Structure 1
Amino acid sequence: MKHGGVPNAVTSFVAVLVFLQCSCLSAEVVTCSGIVPMVYRNDKISITDFGGVGDGRTSNTKAFREAIYRIDHLRRRGGTLLYIPPGVYLTESFNLTSRMTLYLARGAVIKATQDTANWPLVAPLPSYGRGRERPGGRYMSFIHGDGLHDVIITGENGTIDGQGDVWWNMWRRRTLQFTRPNLVEFKDSRGIIISNVIFKNSPFWNIHPVYCSNVVIRYVTILAPADSPNTDGIDPDSSSHVCIEDSYISTGDDLVAVKSGWDEYGIAYGRPSNDITIRRITGSSPFAGIAVGSETSGGVTNVLAEHITLYNSGIGIHLKTNIGRGGIIRNITVSDVFMENMRKGIKIAGDVGDHPDENYNPNALPVMKHIRIKNVWGEKVLQAGVIQGLKNSPFTDICLANINLRGSSGPRNVPWKCSDVSGGASQVSPSPCAELISRSQTGACSIPF
């Protein structure tokens, strides 16, 4: 086989991964493996077969587009694996296709060009009504998939590098014409696996499944400088049956943020995020570790986040919405969290986030209820918690149990701050606000749970 071709190691990779998944299951470690099956591809091609050159200087845009055109039009039985050998492959943005695996070898880097002037534009998401940052369209994600099924991005911890600093500087100088591109976005797609890849320096959000179902993201590393603007790690958006696990994330914004549309546009589109699992995530961020919102106009239900480790961050657990959002946030459970050196441990608020325009309905009030946060330990937490509901839509059934958030010099820290909230608390230190304590034994909030 010529240099850069598909190695025999790829042939056995899927079988090895399945074995590891079975081993984890036998050890009683809960995993996402059943949501989307890992698919073996008999047909394998290499980017070098299409003229790809991994010298970090040569443009590989034509090679990527021709390789994916071949996969899309030949449609081999079982799909095709596109192998990226070691090297640095500079390219413009490109679209994936269904029934394909993008496989990055160890030492392989797919690097985005910084030619922003020729970056393609796509239409705004209907649940947002406009670009998230600027009116009008938005720049297409670096790696993009629209209306796809059965797509895998995996490998041997190769890297997808967005070279986002040019975009961050445009944002800082306020010279952006349209909303910055995500690093990877799947839209209206299903059966997606992203695993064993390093994502770094995204221009905007890193991984964005929107209007998707059956998505597994695991064993990934996501990196961006702490001062890089809006570089969220993973944002499931109006999507269902999404599982995110066993990953390290250190970025300039929320590590994981569940979303579902923006104000009147999200209400009209009406697609919620539901059945989202987040587990065994470690990381740091100047903003939030695990977040819901603030764009939640389609609703967010049935979210489980567990076994989370956070450090050197702004807020550990952040549930956020705003007047004009509408939408119901309910059945959210966060458990088994350790955090260290945080500004706030827990924040649940109804006054967070901006609006797309002046046409939002001030009477579209969000509903927040059935929230369970338990088994949380924090060291060096400046303020334990803030829970601020809305006067005309109080947050209800907010339940806290077995939470210990210690200050920077021992158990003392800034007291809880609460308003327009009801629920219960059990074994919470420092003692939470009276609105929770006084209702700790009511049937509406069963503690312990």
Structure 2
Amino acid sequence: MVHHYIKRFKPVGNWGKLMLPLNKIKYFPPQFIIRDPVAEGVDLVLKQGFEVAVAVFNFKNWQDLSEQLGELSFRQFIKNIKEIFLAVIQRELEDNQIIIVHDHYSDGLALILKVDPGRDCVTEIDQTLKKIVKEAEKYIHNDTPHIRPVIDAGYMFVEKKYYSSVQEAVYKAHQHALAMAEKRVRSEFNEMMYKINKIVAKKDIKMLAQPIINVATGEVKAWEMLTRGPSGTSLESPLQLFTIARQTGSLYDLELIVLEKTLEQITKTGCTQDIFINFTPITIGNERFVRDVKKMLTGYKNIPPEQITLEITERDPIEGIENFIYNIKVLRTLGFRVAVDDTGAGYASLNSISEIMPDIIKIDRSVIKGIDTNRVKESMLKGLLLVAKEAGSLVVAEGIESEGEASVLSRNNVDLAQGYFYARPDTLTKSLKSS
């Protein structure tokens, strides 16, 4: 046995060093809790600016062991295992990392940790949990070599802002951690969720600007704002960044941060030209979107809504997004203009044109690429120009990379264009100086 490792902790006021006796606290869904010391401890740590992770050690073969040992021996075995885990946890972690350890309503233990957001905590938590399980299994085997419990671990970060109470946030994190321990979710998803939540919390994105050129005069008419994630990370790529944001439920928050960062840059640079900002249909259709945009604009009274074009991105159909068309109408009455992106790339964008009747149609790069050597593509361009004329929309051709492609736009009287042929994306400050 490992009794020389074990200390009995009693509840104290300092939550940073609290570990409750395992037989003193049970975990219940939040609706049944009147005063929840777990939630109180978590809330205090979150207010101090730390992250909180719920880790679960799940014993998969409890039922088999119960049948093997009999009721009385099994109860003693459970007690011994929990004492071993408690001892190993105390040895492997610093006191100020542990918020609480307790039995939970399924087969195993829950460990709630204070995590320093400045460290690579996802990797560290993975390694720590694996080490705790490995060490505990070693002591269990030494103590009872003929009994082999199967132990899995999982974890999830507590995300208070997505829930109505700390209790609910802890409960949801516990459910996700248990699902991970039972191999119903992968650890990679947890890592993605942590990274994207960290980006959203710190607003850790960079905005670049690419000019939109008047094809006839060569003058800069507007700027499209493009998002990049933290430099040097896998999420620097906008495709990866927004894909993971969508998968982890952070897309709306991320796109609102893009708007905020853009408004900051317009104010900082004094830019008076039109600005295009990308939004997905699901964000524009969010019932909070109009209210949140109006609220944000109150802090930027120098920026008229008429300067902003909401560029509807993605090749998703807009059908079924409840508030989408209504929100578009309201935003237009406020002065915003609307552009439809990816036109020519599929049914979704073409259908959006008939539903929205946008101010601007952006023709997808797939139509433009190699158009100077492909008559079919030029015919497609002419067809889209007719659609734009019927809708009363200006046209922007995207992804121009050669003089030949640009010349086709000129002879077909395309209004506007953008692409590497004209300029690569850069900060709005540098772009304005070079334009």
Larger Rg: 2
Relative to its length, the structure with more helix (as a share) is: 2
Using the size of structure 2 for normalisation, the TM-score is 0.32
Instruction: Identify the structure with the greater strand proportion.
Output: 1
Of the two structures, which has the highest relative contact order with CA contacts closer than 8 Å and spacing of 6 or more? 2
